[in-house]
Amino acid sequence: MRTTLDLPEELLDEAMRISHIGTKTKVIVTALEELIRKNQISEIKQFKGKVDFDIDLDAVRGRECRF
């Protein structure tokens, strides 16, 4: 989808520099994906301490890696 945006050039240049992403489109898409990911993580964190898993951590940690 084509959209016209008025973005601060120095902000976009800095994002491209620190992310090592070569195109403006890709850096904006990456930023949007990261925003969505962070929001999803914060929603999952709301369940901390509210879900009871019956897991034997010692048994899990003692397993050998299958890979």
Q: Inform me whether the pLDDT recorded for 1 exceeds 70.
A: yes
What share of the chain has pLDDT > 90, as a percent? 61
In-domain check, residue 67? no
CA dihedral of 58, 61, 64, 67, whole degrees rounded to 10: 150
Mean pLDDT of all residues in 31-43 = 95
| CA–CA separation, 67 and 50 (whole Å) | 32
Domain assignment present for 41: yes
Give the structural domain span for 20.
9-61
Specify if 39 maps to a domain. yes
- pLDDT over threshold 80, residue 52: no
pLDDT at 10 over 90: yes
Domain count along the chain: 1
